[in-house]
């Protein structure tokens, strides 16, 4: 749980992108962010703030949802990736774990993991080694390897989805809402593994999260989004200690925890939003 | 042994072999439905088109000769040679793969993420288009298809059953071959989808398009692959039905017979398509055998659909359809 980013090189640089759905709905209104190599970066904000859209714009999965990046650039390792095929992105090392897990329900857990290696051409042995590595991080998956993914628990599905992404041997994982629908204990466990993967395997993470509290404990840097814009950025420590973040996202103030109703009345006073 | 029992046994055997023929058509539907959630209305026409193309190649017909003659006043019709069957079949397979590429390029690519009903409508359009192209390309007359499969009564079955029961069963040799080929086809498809990387990708796409995209599977490639396989299955069905009853427009109507098979077996199960076909085949023959004397015949025309209706009422996912997984 470092508060300073381990290295200063930027792996991903998003410059002022706009995303339009169905040619009419403007979901992102000029989002810029950079993700340092080897770090965990959190993208925070409420429902509809544009976190998922940002991740999908990077992985270009918005294309299949009738969305498109109409403005700005997305540089990964110095290369512009706007409009690139998702398959090419996976090959170049960027893979997304989608919100709501999206396992292949009728495939077994192990088959799910193996599909993650679809773009790899380095032979069976290398893929088998990767599989062992995933099982090392998620021993639970090894026990359930022969079960149909659709019948495993929510936590196991989230692990399967992350493991599947790992199988492509990515340098960067876009992790969308890993805590969704999971018990607090399990959320902690998942984030623990994310931190380990980051430390031990050097995987860079950009994670979108509503659970600000957990995310800021594990991330190195963070961005806060509202209404399709970035409204605040900083190291995790800065964000954790920022009074506004405390009030609006962590539900705390100097006088201790506030009730939801009070927080809402404070929300109207927010200045930095506009 | 009483005669009735013997006749019933013969009817059952005939039903089994007829069922295999239905299953062959149903297989093509299942493949495409599994991979893309599309009910491919054009599957029957694809079988017709494949058979037409095969006959055309075999007999050295010049494609679009009627059109060329009408436009330029020429009198072309044949190249003047016959292509050996072993060459004509791979050539037809290539044509079906080309068709798959074109379908993806001109139809599916533009309809990504649309409602299944829209895709279904597109396949209706494709069916009529393909029917027309088949006509213009190869002519509309009824053609005989002979790929060298044996036809007529199977002497072996006749002899054996005569020795056992004192009554020889009539089984068409073509249908015995059809059963063998269908078995091979299903075995090959099963091995492909269970044990190969592309097969796994195909099942992954069937489950979740978005997730498949996210791990780097190219949907466009998988669609071309699926439609190619469905085209090859259509070719096999076209060969079998074409050898049996000639290559003509009515061949495309066998698709209608596949519908009850699918409702019985489930739209998503390959073994289901086979077993559904067998049940319909046997049910049809036995029902006809026992009920015709009472209600006056011609039950084969409607029995399958009635059975399908009963299934829709009590088991809409079919016998082997994938259970809709719902976790609580």
Mutation target among B113, B215, B268 for the A interface, most CBs of A within 10 A: B215
Mutation target among A113, A118, A130, A173 for the B interface, most CBs of B within 10 A: A118
Full domain range(s) for residue A196: 10-241
Same domain, A144 and A187: yes
Same domain, A267 and A252: yes
The reply to whether A3 falls in a domain is: no
Same domain, A266 and A188: no
Same domain, A182 and A207: yes
Q: What is the pLDDT of residue A5?
A: 46
Q: Do A87 and B216 touch (CB under 8 A)?
A: yes
The better pLDDT of the pair B281, A250 is held by B281
Residue B33 reports pLDDT greater than 90: no
User: Residues 6 or more apart from B221 whose CB is under 8 A from it?
Assistant: none
Q: What is the pLDDT of residue A11?
A: 93
Q: What is the pLDDT of residue A57?
A: 94
Q: Please provide the CATH number assigned to the domain covering B3-314.
A: 1.10.3470
Distance from CA of B110 to the nearest CA of A (A): 11
Same domain, A155 and A267: no
The better pLDDT of the pair A207, B182 is held by A207
CB of A151 less than 8 A from some CB of B: yes
Residues of chain B contacting residue A87, judged by C-beta atoms under 8 Å apart: 213, 216-218
DSSP B171-234: -BHHHHHHHHHHHHHHHHHHHHHHHSHHHHHHHHHHH-HHHHHHTT--HHHHHHHHHHHHHHHH
Report the pLDDT averaged over residues B169-182.
Answer: 87
Considering only the beta carbons, identify the residue of A66, A90, A114 that sits closest to B216. Answer: A90
Dmax of chain A from CA atoms? 59
Q: What is the pLDDT of residue A271?
A: 45
Report the pLDDT averaged over residues A30-57.
Answer: 93
Residue A273 reports pLDDT greater than 60: no
Same domain, A226 and A247: no
pLDDT digits (tens, 9 = 90+) for A139-154: 999 999 999 999 999 9
The reply to whether A219 falls in a domain is: yes
Q: Do B201 and A98 touch (CB under 8 A)?
A: no
Same domain, A33 and A86: yes
Tell me the C-alpha distance between B161 and B165, whole Å: 6
The reply to whether A84 falls in a domain is: yes
Same domain, A264 and A137: no
The reply to whether A145 falls in a domain is: yes
Nearest CA in chain B to A60: B214
- Number of domains chain A is built from: 2
CB of B322 less than 8 A from some CB of A: yes
Considering only the beta carbons, identify the residue of A95, A96, A151 that sits closest to B327. Answer: A151
CB of B159 less than 8 A from some CB of A: no
Report the pLDDT averaged over residues B246-251.
Answer: 86
pLDDT digits (tens, 9 = 90+) for B266-284: 888 888 888 999 999 999 9
pLDDT band with cut points at 50, 70 and 90 for residue B292: confident
- Return the DSSP state at A151: G
**Count of beta carbons in the 10 Å neighbourhood of residue B190:** 13
Q: What is the pLDDT of residue B328?
A: 46
pLDDT band with cut points at 50, 70 and 90 for residue A1: very low
Per the CB < 8 A criterion, the answer to whether B223 and B35 are in contact is yes
Same domain, A184 and A219: yes
- Chain A with chain B: Cβ pairs closer than 8 A: 89
The better pLDDT of the pair A259, A15 is held by A15
pLDDT band with cut points at 50, 70 and 90 for residue B90: very high
Distance from CA of B210 to the nearest CA of A (A): 8
CB of A114 less than 8 A from some CB of B: yes
Q: What is the pLDDT of residue A175?
A: 96
Q: Do B327 and A168 touch (CB under 8 A)?
A: no
Burial class (CB in 10 A: 0-12, 13-18, 19+), A129: exposed
The structural domains of chain B, with segments of one domain joined by +, span 3-314
Q: If you average pLDDT over each of B93-102, B112-121, B133-142, which comes out highest?
A: B93-102
Distance from CA of A247 to the nearest CA of B (A): 35
Report the pLDDT averaged over residues A116-125.
Answer: 92
Cα–Cα–Cα angle for B202, B27, B326, nearest 5°? Answer: 55
Same domain, A190 and A122: yes
The B residues from 78 to 117 touching A (CB cutoff 8 Å) are 112-113
Residues of chain B contacting residue A114, judged by C-beta atoms under 8 Å apart: 197, 200
CB of B207 less than 8 A from some CB of A: yes
CB of B163 less than 8 A from some CB of A: no
Dmax of chain B from CA atoms? 71
Residue B208 reports pLDDT greater than 70: yes
Residues of chain A contacting residue B208, judged by C-beta atoms under 8 Å apart: 102-105
pLDDT digits (tens, 9 = 90+) for A44-97: 988 888 999 999 999 999 988 888 899 999 999 988 988 888 999 999 999 999
Same domain, A160 and A203: yes
Q: Do B213 and A61 touch (CB under 8 A)?
A: yes
Same domain, A90 and A169: yes
CB of A113 less than 8 A from some CB of B: no
The reply to whether A217 falls in a domain is: yes
The reply to whether A26 falls in a domain is: yes
Q: Do A103 and B204 touch (CB under 8 A)?
A: no
pLDDT band with cut points at 50, 70 and 90 for residue A262: low
| CATH number for the domain harbouring residue A37 | 3.40.50.300
The reply to whether A1 falls in a domain is: no
The reply to whether A2 falls in a domain is: no
Residues of chain B contacting residue A59, judged by C-beta atoms under 8 Å apart: 214
pLDDT band with cut points at 50, 70 and 90 for residue B37: confident
Q: Do A59 and B209 touch (CB under 8 A)?
A: no
DSSP3 helix / strand / coil % (chain B, rounded to 5): 75, 0, 25
Of A61-70, A163-172, A244-253, B115-124, the least confident = A244-253
Nearest CA in chain A to B201: A115
User: Residues 6 or more apart from A145 whose CB is under 8 A from it?
Assistant: A108, A109, A110, A135
Instruction: Please give the structure tokens belonging to residue B156.
Output: 């072996």
- Return the DSSP state at B159: H
pTM of the model: 0.83
């Amino acid at each position: 749980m470092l508060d300073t980013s381990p290295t200063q090189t930027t792996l991903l640089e998003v410059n002022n992108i706009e995303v339009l759905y169905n040619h009419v709905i403007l979901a992102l209104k000029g989002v810029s962010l950079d993700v340092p190599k080897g770090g965990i970066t959190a993208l925070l904000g409420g429902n509809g703030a544009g976190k998922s859209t940002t991740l999908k714009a990077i992985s270009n999965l918005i294309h299949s949802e009738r969305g498109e990046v109409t403005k700005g650039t997305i540089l990964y390792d110095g290369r512009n990736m706007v409009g690139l095929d998702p398959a090419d992105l996976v090959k170049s090392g960027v893979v997304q774990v989608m919100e709501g897990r999206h396992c292949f329900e009728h495939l077994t857990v192990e088959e799910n993991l193996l599909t993650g290696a679809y773009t790899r051409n380095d032979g069976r042995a290398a893929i088998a080694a990767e599989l062992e590595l995933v099982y090392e991080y998620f021993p639970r998956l090894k026990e359930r390897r022969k079960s149909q993914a659709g019948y495993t628990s929510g936590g196991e599905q989230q692990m399967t989805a992350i493991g599947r992404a790992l199988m492509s041997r990515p340098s960067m994982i876009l992790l969308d809402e890993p805590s969704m629908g999971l018990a607090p204990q399990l959320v902690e466990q998942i984030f623990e593994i994310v931190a380990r993967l980051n430390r031990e395997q050097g995987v860079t993470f950009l994670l979108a999260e509503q659970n600000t509290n957990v995310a800021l404990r594990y991330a190195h840097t963070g961005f806060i989004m509202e209404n399709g814009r970035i409204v605040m950025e900083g190291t995790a420590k800065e964000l954790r200690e920022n009074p506004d973040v405390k009030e609006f996202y962590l539900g705390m103030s100097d006088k201790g925890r506030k009730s939801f109703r009070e927080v809402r009345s404070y929300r109207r006073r927010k200045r930095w939003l506009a | 042994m009483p005669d009735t029992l013997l006749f019933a046994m013969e009817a059952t055997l005939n039903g089994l072999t007829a069922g295999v023929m239905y299953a062959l058509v149903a297989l093509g539907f299942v493949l495409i439905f599994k991979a893309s959630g599309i009910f491919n209305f054009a599957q029957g026409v694809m079988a017709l088109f494949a058979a037409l193309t095969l006959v055309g190649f075999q007999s050295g017909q010049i494609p679009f000769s009627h059109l060329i003659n009408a436009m330029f006043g020429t009198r072309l019709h044949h190249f003047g040679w016959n292509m050996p069957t072993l060459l004509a079949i791979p050539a037809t397979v290539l044509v079906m793969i080309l068709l798959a590429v074109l379908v993806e390029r001109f139809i599916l690519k533009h309809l990504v993420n649309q409602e299944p009903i829209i895709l279904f409508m597109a396949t209706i359009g494709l069916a009529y288009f393909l029917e027309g192209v088949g006509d213009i390309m190869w002519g509309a007359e009824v053609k005989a298809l002979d790929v060298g499969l044996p036809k007529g009564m199977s002497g072996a079955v006749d002899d054996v059953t005569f020795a056992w029961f004192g009554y020889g069963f009539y089984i068409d040799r073509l249908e015995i071959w059809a059963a063998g080929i269908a078995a091979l086809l299903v075995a090959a498809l099963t091995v492909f989808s269970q044990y190969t990387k592309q097969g796994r990708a195909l099942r992954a796409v069937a489950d979740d398009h978005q997730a498949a995209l996210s791990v780097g599977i190219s949907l466009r490639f998988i669609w071309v692959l699926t439609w190619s396989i469905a085209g090859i299955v259509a070719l096999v069905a076209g060969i079998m039905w074409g050898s049996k009853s000639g290559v003509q427009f009515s061949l495309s109507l066998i698709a209608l017979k596949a519908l009850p098979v699918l409702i019985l077996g489930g739209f998503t199960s390959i073994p289901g398509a086979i077993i559904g076909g067998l049940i319909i085949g046997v049910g049809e023959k036995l029902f006809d055998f026992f009920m015709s004397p009472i209600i006056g015949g011609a039950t084969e025309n409607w029995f399958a659909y009635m059975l399908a209706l009963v299934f829709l009422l009590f088991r809409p996912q079919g016998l082997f359809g994938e259970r809709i997984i719902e976790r609580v």
